[in-house]
Structure 1
Amino acid sequence: MIKNQNIIDQLNGLLSDYQIFYQNLRGFHWNIQGKNFFELHVKFEELYTETNVKVDDIAERILTIGGTPIHNFQDYLDTAELVPVKNVHDDETAVKTIVSNLEKIIIKEKAIKEAAGAVDDSGTEDQMSAFVEEQEKTLWMYKAWLK
């Protein structure tokens, strides 16, 4: 067994969640309607672009520590905690889904950070710290939009 197998497994779970999150965001971007269309169409594109970078970063981290990133949609669906959504056209449902997804992702990232720290995997620990810091701010902004 690979020394970091637990971390690899957790990162693959996170990778799966990010892939579902990414596809949810693409759907929101494509399908948003209503008075907030112009604002949210742009914001959703920004968020899915950032998410796509994180997908690559996580996969590369898995490779760096000796693992293989999962890389097909059935494995993502089988492994992810997040749930794919479809036919979301209204702003409030889209933003509430983003908030819920980010909350779950942040919890997972904090757990990975803690597990990585326990096995002296400072690279993974640092990566998760950076992700959490950025996403907590994003989460705050989307929650503020909902008020």
Structure 2
Amino acid sequence: MNNAKLIKQLNDLLADSTVYYQKLRSCHWLVQGKQFFRLHEVFQEMYSKWEVYIDEIAERILMIEGVPLNTLKSMMEVSSIEEYRGFESSTEMVGEITKDLQYIVESINEIITEAEKISDRGTANLLDSINDAQQKRIWMLRAWLKEAPVAVS
């Protein structure tokens, strides 16, 4: 099986996932305002899941005879996700992590396509489960971002 392209794609995903994980932790630590309690919990729930996904992606790279990126420097060099840069509001935080997550889901779909081309069901199955959960998360984040209708009296 020629899996060099797949290993590169998975390493790119690993880098993006690691930077995204840290961005979620930063949001968890730094969120303020009226939504603090709820968002603090949501960000923690999200980064806890990404901690598991990161490990699974790295282990999958090893299973298909690749070497996962394993330094922050190497990950920052290839990641398409930007580090946390400070946000004025919780709405900006949620908007940014939603945008990043959408990018990750698009990347996952490309990797699934590549895995299926080379008949790597293990990689496709792993990413299918991550993809399904993250599509639901995007829907939930987008719903949160919508403004509540203003009651007219």
Aligned to 1:37: 36
* TM-score after normalising by structure 1: 0.96
Partner Cα distance (2:88, 2:46) in 1? 17
Partner Cα distance (2:7, 2:60) in 1? 9
Whether 1:27 aligns to 2:23 is no
* TM-score after normalising by structure 2: 0.93
**Greater gyration radius:** 2
| 1:26–1:44 CA contact under 8 A, matched in 2 | yes
Partner Cα distance (1:75, 1:139) in 2? 28
Show CA shifts across 1:6-60 (max 9, x none).
Answer: 1110000000000110010010000000000000001000000000000000000
What is the CA RMSD across the aligned residues, in angstroms? 1.1
In the alignment, structure 2 segments of 5+ residues that lack a partner are: 147-153
Read off the aligned partner of 2:20 and give its amino acid letter: F
In the alignment, structure 1 segments of 5+ residues that lack a partner are: none
After TM superposition, the runs of 4+ consecutive aligned structure 1 residues lying more than 6 A away are none
Counterpart mapping for 1:68-83 below 5 A: 68-83=67-82
**Number of aligned residue pairs:** 146
Read off the aligned partner of 2:132 and give its amino acid letter: E
Percent identity, aligned pairs only, is 36
